[in-house]
Structure 1
Amino acid sequence: MKKFFLSISILVSAHYFTQEITLDKIYSGYYRGKGISGIASLKNGENYAVIEKDGIAKYSYKTTIKEGNIVNGNFQSYIFNDDESKILLLKESTPIYRHSFLGKFDVKDLKSGKILSLNNGNFVLEPTFSPDGTKIAFIAENNMFYQDLASGKITQITTDGKKNSILNGLADWVYEEEFGHAKLYDWTKNSDAIVFVKSNESEVPEMYIPIYGKQLYPSEMRFKYPKAGEKNSVVSAHLYRLDANKTMALNLSGFKNYYIPDVHKTAKADEIILITSERIQNSSDILKVNTKTGNITKLFTESDDQWIDTDNVTLEFLDDNSFIWGAERDGNRHLYWYDQNGKLKKQITKGNWEVTDYYGFNPKTKEVFVQTTEKGSINKVVSKINIDSGKSIIISNSEGNNSANFSGNFNYFIETSSSAAKPYTFTLKDNSGKTLKELQNNNDLLAKLKADNFVEKEFFTIPNEVGDQMNAWIIKPKNFDKNKKYPVFMYQYSGPGSQQVSNSWDGGNAIWFESLVQKGYLVVCVDGRGTGYKGTKFKKATYMNLGKYEIEDQIAAAKWLGKQSFVDASRIGIFGWSFGGYMSSLALTKGADVFKAGIAVAPVTNWRYYDSVYTERFMRTPQENPKGYDENSPTEFAKLMKGKFLLIHGTADDNVHFQNSMEFSEALIQNKKQFEFMAYPDKNHGIYGGQTRPQLYEKMTNFILDNL
C-alpha cells in the first residue's frame, strides 16, 4: 500500500466571485498550479529537454533560452538512448495498475530522421533501449521481445507468457504495487544479454471484481492477488544471450529466492545484479550474475531485526564498479560505499538525519548529490557530500521541501521548491547553490488563494503517551479567537514510513481543508509512531502490531487537543483515505469516547484481506501472528462504535478491495450500529472520473457540517 495522492478534477464553474475558498473553485481548476513537464538533462550537461505542447524542446542551462525542438509533435513521455542519437516517444497509453501501462511508441533516429513504430505499432510494456542503442527490448502479452532498430526485425525471447499465469520480465500485481515498479529485466552494459524474472502466478488466488457499467449483465475484472498468508507467484531468474538466441535458468537455490524485487546492470560488461529476499523481508541478498557463464556470487546480505525497505532501493555502480548502497543500519537511512566484490569501504553519510533521495555521483569532484532531512524531519534539502572526506554542503533552500534534477555533468540543477506557505517554484541553480534564473513560479496561484483568505499552517509537536514528540500542523480561521472554543477536524494517513506533516505544498486536500477552516473548524494533522523521516526506531515501533500504536497516538493527540483552551473536546472528528481510512475506522471504535465523527475512505478493515508483500513486511503472516491481525482490526471492535461515521468505497478498487467495507458494514449491522455508507460504482482506489470527486467532497463537507 502506497501513500495515496489526491488529484483535482476539472469542472466548469463561474462561481468565482466570493472572497472565500469553495468547492466550485477547487474543482473548476481555478487553483491549478503551473509546472514544468518531463525535465531531463542531455548528455552534454549543457542542455536540458522538457515536454511542451508542440514537441520535446531543448533549452540551454547557461542562458535558459530555448534552442528549438528536438522532435515536433504531441507526446506523453520520451526516453533517449545512451548517446542520444535516438529517442523513444510515447504517443498513446492505457493504464493497467499503479505503474504499468500499455503504450504505443515510435523510435526516431535523430541523425537520419527515420521513424520506426515499435512492435509494428502495437501496444507494448516497459520498452528499454540496449546500452549500445541498436535494439529495444519490450514486453507484449506477458512475453519478452527485442527489436533491431536498423532492420526492424523482432525476435521473440519467451513463448510461455499467459494472462493470470506466466509473466516474463514484468511484475505481477503485488510486485508492482509494493516493490514500486513494473519492469523486472535489464540489459547488460555490453548489450549482448538480458536477465529477466519469470513469475508463475498460476497458483495465486484470483480476485474478481464486478464491473457494472450500463450493460445488462455485469462483466468481471479478474486478476491474481495474493492476500496475507496466501500463495505468491513462484519467481525465477533467467539469462538470455542474444548471440545464441537461448535462455537459461539461473540457479538461486543457495540464496534467498522467495522474492526477486530488482534487476540492475553494473558498470562492467557481462554482469547483472539481482536483489532477492525471503518472504518475511528482513534480509536481502545482493547477487552478481556473470552473464557469460550464468555463475552467481553473493556480494553481501542486508539484514534487519524487523524489515528491509525492499521498495526503496538505492544502488549505483561507479566507473570502477564499486557501488553506493542505501541502508538503515545505524538508525537512519544513510549511504554506504562498497568495492566491486561487496566489501564495505566506508559509510558515506552519517548523522541524526536521513537520506531521502539519491541523485547521483560526480566522478570529477568525488561528490554524491542527495536529498536529506538535515534541516529537520519536516524539511527536505539538497546537499552535495564528498565521498572521501564526508564534507556536506547544502545547495538548495534550507527550508521547505526541495528536490533537484541535475545536469549530466552536475554543473547545474533545476530545483523544485515549495513550502506549506508557498506553491512550487522551479529555479535553475549551479552546483554551488547559486540561483541563475527562476524558470517558473506560482505567484498567481498564491495571490488567488490569499485573496480568498488562505491561512498558513502552523507547525508544532504533540506528546504521545510514551514521551515522543509527534510532528503536527494546525490551520486556524483567519479571525481566530483564543477565547472561543472550536471544533477540530483531524486528518492523517499514518502508514509505515509515510509523512503528512511536511513543510511542503499540498494542492489537493489542503485547499479543501482551508474551505473547512473558513466554516469555523480547526484542521489538525499529526504524524504518530510508524511514520517516516524521524529514524527507524520511530518508524518501526509498529512492527507486528500494525494499527495498534498508530491509533493510540491519534487518540493521544485528540485528547491533548481537547485540553487546549480554544478546543471544544466534545467536537473532534477524524478523516483518512486508505491506511488513513483504516485509522478513522479504529478511531470511531477503539477511540469512540474521544471522536464525535469520522470519515473512512477506501479503508483496510482486516489485514487478512490486504496483499501479502505489504502486510507481511510489517506483520508477518496471519498464521505466524494471528493476535496482531485480530487485535488491530476495526471489525473486531464494531460493538464499540459511537458517534457519526461515514464509510466510503469504490466498488472496483483493485488495491483495497470493496470486501473490506462490506465486512466492516456487516459487523456494524450485526451490532446494531447506525452509520452512513457511500459506494462509488466501478471506481477504483482513487474514486475519480467525471463528477465523482466534486460529489464526493461535497458529501464529506456536508457530513462534517451536519455532524461536527
Structure 2
Amino acid sequence: MKKLLLLLLLGSTYAYGQRSFTIDETVFGPSKFSPKNLFGQKWVKGTDAFSHLDASYQNLMIRPSKDNWQSKELVSIAELQTALTKTIPNEQFFLRTFPTQYEWQDANTLTFTVNGKETVYGIAYNVTKKDIQITSNVPSTATNIEYSASNAQTAYLIGNNIEITTANGEKIQVTKDTVNGIVNGSEFTHRQEFGITKGMWWSPDDQKLLYYRKDETMVTKYPLPQWDTRVATIKDIRYPMAGMKNEEVTLNIFNTQTGHYTTLQTGTPKEQYLTIASWDPNNEYVYVGILNRGQDHLKLNKYNAKSGELVKTLFEEKSTTWVEPQHALIFTPGNSKQFLYQTDRDGYNQLYLYDTQGTLIRHLGHNDVSVIDFKGFDSKGTKAYYIGTINNGMERQLFEVELKSGKTTQLTQKNGTHNASISDSGNFILDQYSNLTTPNKIEVITKKDGKSTNILTAENPFTGQIDIPKIEFKTFVSPDGKTPLNARIIYPANFDSSKKYPVMLYLYGGSHAQLVTDRWLGAAGYFDMFMAQKGYVVFTLDNRGSDARGRDFTRVTHRNLGESEMADQLVGIEYLKSLPYVDSDNMGIFGWSYGGFMTTSLMTKHNDIFKAAVAGGPVMDWKYYEAMYGERYMDTPEENPEGYKKTSLLNKANKLNGHLLIIHGAQDPVVVQQHIMDFVEQCIKAGKQVDYFLYPKHEHNVSGRDRIHMYDKIAKYFDLHLKK
C-alpha cells in the first residue's frame, strides 16, 4: 500500500455545554436538539412570495417580497378546521398540526389530504375565500395513492389490486387478480431498484393510468418465522436470489373513458427491468427504459399509448460494468418534443437534452458536478435548475443551466449543503443550508445582484446543554495514487493528545450512501458523538464505491465487492495507527448492512487490526442476496464464480480474530437470516467464538425505542473489549 498522504484539514467545530448525551438521546436527540427551522417552505405559485408553517405548526405563514419577506399569518388551523367541518359535517376532524404535506395549486389554492374515520380526503382550500372543495376520497385502507394532474381521479391499491375513484365518487375496479404472486400498481416492483418509487402513473390528461403488473409466482418463496402466536407461523416473501428465477413485469394502460386495457409490447426476455416510465405531455406515447437482466444494456423505447406497439428505440446505453437508470424523463415546458435525460455515462450523473426522435441536442453537464436533485425550470422554460455536488462530493450547491447554450452558473456560493429553489419569476432564490459550523441558515437571495436577506439563523442547539466533541474533516488519497477520499474524525471529550484512546471506526462503504458531507456536525450521527463523549476516537471514511463522486469512483467495485473498499479503509486505518494518541491495540469497528459486510470482511481478511467489532444485518455471501442489487455489482454466481468465492465470508470464518457481535432483525426481508446462520455454523465448525443477538420483531433496521437498546448493547460491547 502506498504511503498515506494527509491532504487537507477542512475545519473543526466546538461547543461548550454541561453534559454528555444519554443513551436515549442517541435515538431521540436529533429531534430534541434539532436546530431552529421553518418547516413546509414553498414558493407560492405565480408570485414572489413563499409560505411556511409557524413554530407551533398551527398556522401557515406567508412572506412576500413586497413586504421585504416579513412574515404574516395566511391560514390558521382553526380556520381550516371550521371549513372542514362545514364541508364534511359527517366527519370529525381533529387536526393536531397544519397539514405539512401541502402544495400550491395556484396563487390562491392549497391542496393536501386529511384523514377521516374511514376515508382519506383530498382537499383544495382557497386561502382567499376560506372554503374547501373535496377533490377525492379513498378508503383509509388504501395504499399507493396516486392523484391525477387535476385531482379529478384517484388511483390506489386495495391489497394487490388497483381501484380508481372518479371525480363524481364512482369506483372503478381496474384489476381483480387473486393469485398469490400477482401484484398490480406497486412501487415494490424490481425491489425498488432503478429509482422506482411508484407503480402507477396518470397521463397528463387524467384519462389513462399506466401501471406495473408484477408476476412473481415463479420466484422462490422465502420463509420468515413469526413469533407473535403460541405456535410460531411462517410468513413467505418472494425473494429472487442472485442467479435464480426472477419476477416478470409488464406495463399496462387502463383507459378510464373507454374501459380499454393496453399492454406495452416490451418484448423478451421476460426477465428484464422496466424502468424510468414516463408519459409524453401529449398523452400519445409512453417512454420506458428497458434494462437487460445483466444491467449493462439499456434501451430507451417509445411506445404508442393506444396500441402498446413499439414506435422506436430512441437510443441505447451500454457499459462494461453496469447501467443504472434512476430518473424519469423530464419534458421541457412549452416544448413537448424535448426532454431531459440523466445518466453518468460520461463520468458524472448529468443532464442531456434530447428530442423525441432520440437525437441528442446538447449535453448540459458542468465540470465534475453530479446532479443530485432536479429543481425545475424557469417560467419561460429556457433555464433549468438543480442541486449538484462540488468539492469532491462534500458540498451541495444550486446550479442554473441555459437549455439553448448549456451555459451553467452556480447560484449559491457559501460552503456547505444547500437545499434551494427558485421563485416562478426567476427573480429570487430561497436557500437553506448548513455546514460543519453552521447549524441552519435560511435566506432569500436576489438573483440579479446576489444580495441576500436573512430569514433565519439558528443558534447552536447544544449551547449550555451538551458538550459536543471536536469534529474535523480530513482528506486522504486512495491506493490508486490519485483519488481523494473524504473522512471525518471525532475526538474524545476533554481530548488530551498526551493520552491514548481506543477507536471506533464507523463505516458503510456501499453504493448510494455517503457518510461524510459538509453539513451540520459533518453529518455525524448522535451515536458517533456519544461514543466520542465516552472516550473514543470515532472515525469514518467514504471509500470508493460510495455515492456522489461519479461513475469511476463507483465502478471500481465491479465483480469484487469489498476489495477496493477495504483498501481505501486501510488508508484511514494506517493514519489512525500513526497518531500518538490512538491506542492501536484497542480498535473497534461498527457497520450496518453493507457496513456489516465490510466489518466482517475486515475482521476475517485483515484480522490483526480490530480487537472488537459489531456487524448489523451483514451480507455474508452475495449468492444469498437479491438479484436486482447483487447482480448489478457482482453479475450472477455462474458468470463470476471467482468473485463470489473471493467476497464470500462463509469460507473465511476460520480466519475470524477478535470479538465479533452480529446483530440482526429476525424479520429481515433484505439480508435474510440465512446469511448469519451459515456464518455462525462455519464459526462453530472452525472453533471460532462469535456473539449473536436477534431482535425478534424488526426487519432490516432496528427502530423506535428498541434502537436505544441496540445502541446500549453496542456501546457496552466496545467498553467490555476495548477499555482497559
What is the Cα deviation at residue 192 of structure 1? Answer: 2.6
Give the 3 Å change call, closer, same or farther, for CA 571–605 of structure 1 in structure 2.
Answer: same
Asked if residue 156 in structure 1 is aligned to residue 158 in structure 2, the reply is: no
1:242 pairs with one of 217, 240, 256: 256
**Structure 1 residue matching 2:154: 3-state secondary structure:** strand
- Which structure exhibits the higher relative contact order, with contacts defined as CA atoms closer than 8 Å and separated by 6 or more residues? 2
2:469–2:490 Cα contact (<8 Å) kept:
no
2:437–2:520 Cα contact (<8 Å) kept:
yes
Query: What amino acid does structure 2 have at the position aligned with 1:344?
Result: L
Asked if residue 583 in structure 1 is aligned to residue 598 in structure 2, the reply is: yes
1:139 pairs with one of 150, 157, 160: 157
Which residue number in structure 1 is paired with residue 660 of structure 2?
645
Give the aligned length. Answer: 677
Which residue number in structure 2 is paired with residue 565 of structure 1?
580
1:279 pairs with one of 293, 310, 313: 293
Report Cα offsets for 1:363-422 as digits up to 9, x if no partner: 537222111223432111112122233333222243111122444444444323122333
2:109–2:125 Cα contact (<8 Å) kept:
yes
Which residue number in structure 1 is paired with residue 719 of structure 2?
705
Which residue number in structure 1 is paired with residue 137 of structure 2?
118
Could you tell me the TM-score, scaled by structure 1's length? 0.88
2:183 pairs with one of 167, 182, 187: 167
What is the Cα deviation at residue 544 of structure 1? Answer: 0.8
Structure 1: distance between partners of 2:23 and 2:351? 44
Structure 2: distance between partners of 1:116 and 1:319? 27
Structure 2: distance between partners of 1:85 and 1:476? 51
Query: What amino acid does structure 2 have at the position aligned with 1:139?
Result: L
1:267–1:317 Cα contact (<8 Å) kept:
no
**Structure 1 residue matching 2:469: 3-state secondary structure:** coil
Query: What amino acid does structure 2 have at the position aligned with 1:65?
Result: K
Which residue number in structure 2 is paired with residue 11 of structure 1?
none
1:193 pairs with one of 179, 184, 208: 208
- Of stretches 80-89 and 484-493 in structure 1, the one that deviates more from structure 2 is 80-89
Which residue number in structure 1 is paired with residue 623 of structure 2?
608
Query: What amino acid does structure 2 have at the position aligned with 1:43?
Result: K
What is the Cα deviation at residue 153 of structure 1? Answer: 0.7
Structure 2: distance between partners of 1:85 and 1:44? 12
Which residue number in structure 1 is paired with residue 23 of structure 2?
23
Which residue number in structure 1 is paired with residue 699 of structure 2?
684
Structure 1: distance between partners of 2:302 and 2:258? 22
Which residue number in structure 1 is paired with residue 86 of structure 2?
none
What is the Cα deviation at residue 523 of structure 1? Answer: 1.2
Give the 3 Å change call, closer, same or farther, for CA 208–38 of structure 1 in structure 2.
Answer: farther
Give the 3 Å change call, closer, same or farther, for CA 37–613 of structure 1 in structure 2.
Answer: farther
**Structure 2 residue matching 1:614: 3-state secondary structure:** helix
**Structure 2 residue matching 1:456: 3-state secondary structure:** strand
Asked if residue 334 in structure 1 is aligned to residue 350 in structure 2, the reply is: yes
What is the Cα deviation at residue 576 of structure 1? Answer: 0.6
**Structure 1 residue matching 2:556: 3-state secondary structure:** helix
**Structure 1 residue matching 2:234: 3-state secondary structure:** strand
Which residue number in structure 2 is paired with residue 366 of structure 1?
382
Structure 1: distance between partners of 2:710 and 2:209? 47
Query: What amino acid does structure 2 have at the position aligned with 1:91?
Result: N
Structure 2: distance between partners of 1:620 and 1:90? 46
Asked if residue 457 in structure 1 is aligned to residue 496 in structure 2, the reply is: no
Structure 1: distance between partners of 2:171 and 2:432? 41
Which residue number in structure 1 is paired with residue 111 of structure 2?
87
- Of stretches 416-425 and 644-653 in structure 1, the one that deviates more from structure 2 is 416-425
What is the Cα deviation at residue 250 of structure 1? Answer: 2.0
Give the 3 Å change call, closer, same or farther, for CA 124–686 of structure 1 in structure 2.
Answer: same
Query: What amino acid does structure 1 have at the position aligned with 2:230?
Result: L
Report Cα offsets for 1:496-517 as digits up to 9, x if no partner: 2421121123698633222322
Structure 1: distance between partners of 2:480 and 2:301? 43
- Of stretches 47-56 and 296-305 in structure 1, the one that deviates more from structure 2 is 47-56
Which residue number in structure 2 is paired with residue 251 of structure 1?
265
Which residue number in structure 2 is paired with residue 3 of structure 1?
none
Which residue number in structure 1 is paired with residue 101 of structure 2?
77
- Where do 5+ consecutive residues of structure 1 fail to align? 1-15, 94-102
- Of stretches 135-144 and 479-488 in structure 1, the one that deviates more from structure 2 is 479-488
Structure 1: distance between partners of 2:419 and 2:103? 21
Query: What amino acid does structure 2 have at the position aligned with 1:136?
Result: T
What is the Cα deviation at residue 556 of structure 1? Answer: 3.6
**Structure 2 residue matching 1:377: 3-state secondary structure:** coil
What is the Cα deviation at residue 267 of structure 1? Answer: 2.5
Which residue number in structure 1 is paired with residue 45 of structure 2?
43
Report Cα offsets for 1:614-662 as digits up to 9, x if no partner: 1111111112112212211222211111111111111112222222222
- Of stretches 182-191 and 582-591 in structure 1, the one that deviates more from structure 2 is 182-191
**1:223-622 superposed matches below 5 A:** 223-253=237-267, 258-296=272-310, 297-312=312-327, 315-321=330-336, 322-362=338-378, 364=380, 366-431=382-447, 434=450, 437-448=453-464, 451-464=466-479, 468-477=483-492, 479-505=494-520, 510-622=525-637
Structure 1: distance between partners of 2:603 and 2:391? 36
Query: What amino acid does structure 2 have at the position aligned with 1:281?
Result: Q
Could you tell me the TM-score, scaled by structure 2's length? 0.86
1:501–1:525 Cα contact (<8 Å) kept:
yes
Which residue number in structure 1 is paired with residue 4 of structure 2?
none
Structure 2: distance between partners of 1:47 and 1:128? 28
Structure 2: distance between partners of 1:169 and 1:409? 37
1:128 pairs with one of 138, 146, 149: 146
1:257–1:276 Cα contact (<8 Å) kept:
no
Structure 2: distance between partners of 1:289 and 1:245? 20
1:136–1:147 Cα contact (<8 Å) kept:
yes
What is the Cα deviation at residue 580 of structure 1? Answer: 0.5
**Structure 1 residue matching 2:395: 3-state secondary structure:** coil
**Structure 2 residue matching 1:588: 3-state secondary structure:** helix
Query: What amino acid does structure 1 have at the position aligned with 2:618?
Result: P
Report Cα offsets for 1:284-318 as digits up to 9, x if no partner: 22222222343332222222221122235564444
Which residue number in structure 1 is paired with residue 63 of structure 2?
60
1:493–1:579 Cα contact (<8 Å) kept:
yes
Asked if residue 675 in structure 1 is aligned to residue 699 in structure 2, the reply is: no
User: Percentage identity across aligned positions?
Assistant: 26
Structure 2: distance between partners of 1:334 and 1:437? 31
What is the Cα deviation at residue 59 of structure 1? Answer: 2.3
**Structure 2 residue matching 1:666: 3-state secondary structure:** helix
Give the 3 Å change call, closer, same or farther, for CA 354–27 of structure 1 in structure 2.
Answer: closer
Give the 3 Å change call, closer, same or farther, for CA 141–642 of structure 1 in structure 2.
Answer: same
What is the Cα deviation at residue 465 of structure 1? Answer: 6.0
Structure 2: distance between partners of 1:43 and 1:676? 57
Query: What amino acid does structure 1 have at the position aligned with 2:174?
Result: I
Report Cα offsets for 1:246-274 as digits up to 9, x if no partner: 10222122799711123222322322222
- Where do 5+ consecutive residues of structure 2 fail to align? 1-15, 82-94
**Structure 2 residue matching 1:549: 3-state secondary structure:** helix
Give the 3 Å change call, closer, same or farther, for CA 200–85 of structure 1 in structure 2.
Answer: farther
1:195–1:240 Cα contact (<8 Å) kept:
yes
Report Cα offsets for 1:86-115 as digits up to 9, x if no partner: 73405389xxxxxxxxx9520224366343
Give the 3 Å change call, closer, same or farther, for CA 39–136 of structure 1 in structure 2.
Answer: farther
